[in-house]
Amino acid sequence: MAGIPSHINPKSKRSKRSKATPDIGQLFDQLKAGEISALSQAITLVESTAPKDHAFAKAILQRCLPLSGSSFRLGITGVPGVGKSTFIESLGKLLIGQGKKLAVLAIDPSSGISQGSILGDKTRMEELVKSDQAFIRPSPAGKTLGGVARKTREAIILCEAAGYDFIIVETVGVGQSETAVHSMTDFFLLLKLAGAGDDLQGIKRGIMEMADGIVINKADGNNQTAAKHAQREFRNALHLVPPKNQDWQTKVYTCSALEQNGIQEILDEINNYESKMRAQYSFSAKRQDQELYWLHQTIEDQLMNHFFTKTAVSEALASLEKEVLDKKITPFEAAEKLLAIGTS
Amino acid sequence: MAGIPSHINPKSKRSKRSKATPDIGQLFDQLKAGEISALSQAITLVESTAPKDHAFAKAILQRCLPLSGSSFRLGITGVPGVGKSTFIESLGKLLIGQGKKLAVLAIDPSSGISQGSILGDKTRMEELVKSDQAFIRPSPAGKTLGGVARKTREAIILCEAAGYDFIIVETVGVGQSETAVHSMTDFFLLLKLAGAGDDLQGIKRGIMEMADGIVINKADGNNQTAAKHAQREFRNALHLVPPKNQDWQTKVYTCSALEQNGIQEILDEINNYESKMRAQYSFSAKRQDQELYWLHQTIEDQLMNHFFTKTAVSEALASLEKEVLDKKITPFEAAEKLLAIGTS
């Protein structure tokens, strides 16, 4: 991690924080004033699994919450190698040039305890890393997507309170992480590569119907014809899935993040989306739906997790599943038996 | 309901059954012997919400369960007007002609307590209604999709024990009913109509990725060109969604159920699918996955339902949701508060 500024190195923050009990009032003031070290420390508190940090995390969130909500939140997904970091660097430079303060967060549940597998390669975001208008934070660690998603969502609140008005949340799309990012952002962008005849291979089920925009990246050099072809294929495909929003038709763009070509057009599209949605109040309606989604999703996750980690349930589960597969009882009866065991 | 045989009129069964306590041993023997009235009575027991019937329902299911599983289960979905009844009549005649015993069940959670809105119009299935090789049962009543789906799934067990070796489960696709039918059948068929330029309008999100086969119905008279066009459109579209099964490419057929054209080809396709899947053991693997899906889904439904119907939870929910939307607490904190209320 040599040469990486401390504000994108959670380890250095963590060791610093552990030396003292945080003064939440002071931390909040510093965060609100836009101090990167305070924001970083607050996110570390939110990410912490140490019970002693929970009250601090809650307190700082409580103060930041009323200041949150004013940014534009952009979700970006794409497989490794699609050029997400270069794209974010390229888009980020434009945003900063327009006077925006940009925060880049990530969700990568696969990173597990080895924090920072995503966004780890900062060499592709050199200019953003150097800019004091950009804040870059690796994916939080966590064993479950729910936990990781919660931490990222709370980090959004903290970033917004610190004055960041454009938030990018990126994911490599492991498990259901795309759904999580989709449910915490205003605009969901799918990055794709043109390939040799297999432009649409490997696309995840349902992902096209989630996208508000699709970008064929690396449309440069010898790759331009293939990129245009992929663009046509995707356009045709989009006519065949129902629009996710009756007021918005998902468009397909090509760009070269490397050559900084076509990025402005994508940003214009995103701005266009924001204006249109804000004008008809569906922008805030979508955000409200997302808030309630997380409320209900958290309850569901917790209830299921609480139930299935009970010793009696986990002991009975395997044999009841076997009885079901052996046609000794119906799945409904097995469920009833397990429920009786788990709720007694 | 005048003129409709008693075996498709649940009301007549219900009044008959209420006169006496069922003798489960006798009922099972009659059902196993293929007596339609016994099957009908057993399904009525399974559908009954009267607590006194629960033990009987469980007992008859228990006996039938080991005899279940030997049929082919075909799911059919399509909007009202697509010609599902005529298609089922047409396909059903072929099946019966091949010596099959056919049961037609339905899931329509919208029918609520007014049982039988789906499959209500038996005039389009005149021949099946008359045949003693076919058993037709309207959608069970119920307030929740979970409850309706459970009853239909249990009816499948009873039909199989009664010797029906081809089961059709149809739905109009209200709410998540397509997912329910998809999760209880071996092959999922989507019926569509060709239209004037809007062949793919109104198609539900995700439904194309669920289909094992797609049929453009009413390809007759002046409609044939449009049907062929829709067929091409769907074929193109299918290349752009990932295959649901790497060993099976979903195909698109045209047919005229009215003129009995193209139906045999669809049946051949279904038989082809069955042979292929059985040969590589993925047929039974899919069934096992479905069993476990229902086990887990039932637990989830029950846990959520149990939680949200608690008085304290339902009283607190609205105000906590309001606090979330007013940015007074995060959705995660609201979830924790509700969980504390509901699990204390």
Summarised one tens digit per residue, pLDDT across range A105-137 is: 988 877 654 444 455 555 678 889 889 999 999
Q: How far is A90 from chain B (nearest CA, A)?
A: 29
- The answer to whether residues A127 and A146 belong to one domain is yes
pLDDT at B112: 52
In a domain, B22, yes or no: no
The phi-psi region of residue A241 (left if phi > 0; otherwise alpha if psi is between -120 and 50; otherwise beta) is beta
In a domain, B152, yes or no: yes
List phi, psi (to 5°) of B170: -110, 155
Q: What percent of chain B has pLDDT over 70?
A: 87
Cα–Cα separations (whole angstroms), residue B73 to A52, A253, B154, B168: 55, 43, 13, 6
| Chain B residues in contact with A328 (beta carbon < 8 A) | 65
The pLDDT confidence band at residue B314, using thresholds 50, 70 and 90, is very high
Question: Between these two residues, A21 and A341, which has the higher pLDDT value?
Answer: A341
Assign residue A194 the CATH number of its domain. Answer: 3.40.50.300
- The answer to whether residues B203 and B235 belong to one domain is yes
Q: What percent of chain A has pLDDT over 70?
A: 87
The pLDDT confidence band at residue B222, using thresholds 50, 70 and 90, is confident
The answer, for A316 touching chain B at a CB cutoff of 8 Å, is: no
- The answer to whether residues B118 and B202 belong to one domain is yes
Helix or strand or coil: residue A20?
A: coil
Q: What is the pLDDT of residues B164-186, one digit of tens each?
A: 999 999 998 777 899 999 999 99
Q: Please indicate whether, in this complex, the C-beta atoms of A240 and B244 are within 8 angstroms of each other.
A: no
In a domain, B1, yes or no: no
Q: How far is B35 from chain A (nearest CA, A)?
A: 23
In a domain, A44, yes or no: no
- The answer to whether residues A253 and A181 belong to one domain is yes
- The answer to whether residues B157 and B199 belong to one domain is yes
pLDDT at B2: 40
In a domain, A22, yes or no: no
B window 238-257, beta carbon within 8 A of A: 239-242, 244
Cα–Cα separations (whole angstroms), residue B218 to B69, B222, B230: 33, 10, 12
In a domain, A58, yes or no: no
Q: Which of A150, A240, A335 sits opposite B233 (nearest CB)?
A: A240
Amino acid (1-letter code) at residue A14: R
Domain total of chain A: 2
List phi, psi (to 5°) of B333: -70, -40
Adjacency order of strands within the sheet including A102-107? A134-136, A102-107, A166-171, A72-77, A187-193, A213-217, A251-254
In a domain, A97, yes or no: yes
The answer, for A233 touching chain B at a CB cutoff of 8 Å, is: yes
Q: Which residue of A has its CA nearest to B343?
A: A303
- The answer to whether residues A198 and A314 belong to one domain is no
Q: How far apart are CA B263 and CA B274, in angstroms?
A: 17
- The answer to whether residues A253 and A317 belong to one domain is no
Q: Per-residue pLDDT averaged across B234-255, rounded?
A: 83
* A202 has a pLDDT exceeding 80: no
The pLDDT confidence band at residue A3, using thresholds 50, 70 and 90, is very low
| Chain A residues in contact with B234 (beta carbon < 8 A) | 240
The pLDDT confidence band at residue B146, using thresholds 50, 70 and 90, is confident
User: Which of A261, A280, A299 is the C-terminal boundary of a domain?
Assistant: A280
Q: What is the pLDDT of residues A137-173, one digit of tens each?
A: 988 888 888 889 999 999 999 999 999 999 999 998 7
The answer, for A205 touching chain B at a CB cutoff of 8 Å, is: yes
Q: Please indicate whether, in this complex, the C-beta atoms of A329 and B65 are within 8 angstroms of each other.
A: yes
In a domain, B91, yes or no: yes
- The answer to whether residues B202 and B330 belong to one domain is no
Q: Which of A236, A242, A333 sits opposite B204 (nearest CB)?
A: A242
Q: Which of A293, A327, A332 sits opposite B150 (nearest CB)?
A: A332
- The answer to whether residues B219 and B317 belong to one domain is no
Q: Which residue of B has its CA nearest to A55?
A: B333
Assign residue A307 the CATH number of its domain. Answer: 1.10.287
| Chain A residues in contact with B294 (beta carbon < 8 A) | 331-332, 335
pLDDT at B116: 45
User: Which of B225, B245, B280 is the C-terminal boundary of a domain?
Assistant: B280
Q: Which residue of A has its CA nearest to B302?
A: A339
- The answer to whether residues A299 and A262 belong to one domain is no
- Residue A67 DSSP symbol: G
The phi-psi region of residue A326 (left if phi > 0; otherwise alpha if psi is between -120 and 50; otherwise beta) is alpha
Q: Which residue of A has its CA nearest to B233?
A: A240
* A9 has a pLDDT exceeding 70: no
Q: What does pTM read for this prediction?
A: 0.82
- The answer to whether residues B276 and B307 belong to one domain is no
> B333 lies in which domain range?
291-343
Q: Which residue of A has its CA nearest to B208?
A: A241
| Chain B residues in contact with A150 (beta carbon < 8 A) | 332
Helix or strand or coil: residue A209?
A: helix
Cα–Cα separations (whole angstroms), residue B145 to A334, B187, B202: 19, 20, 22
The answer, for A338 touching chain B at a CB cutoff of 8 Å, is: yes
Burial class (CB in 10 A: 0-12, 13-18, 19+), B247: exposed
The answer, for B237 touching chain A at a CB cutoff of 8 Å, is: yes
Q: How far is B169 from chain A (nearest CA, A)?
A: 19
* Chain A interface mutation, best of B54, B229, B303, highest count of A Cβ atoms under 10 Å: B303
The answer, for A58 touching chain B at a CB cutoff of 8 Å, is: yes
User: Which of B233, B256, B280 is the C-terminal boundary of a domain?
Assistant: B280
The answer, for A25 touching chain B at a CB cutoff of 8 Å, is: no
- What torsion do the CA atoms of B25, B26, B28, B34 make, to the nearest 10 degrees? 160
Q: Which residue of A has its CA nearest to B149?
A: A332
- The answer to whether residues A310 and A275 belong to one domain is no
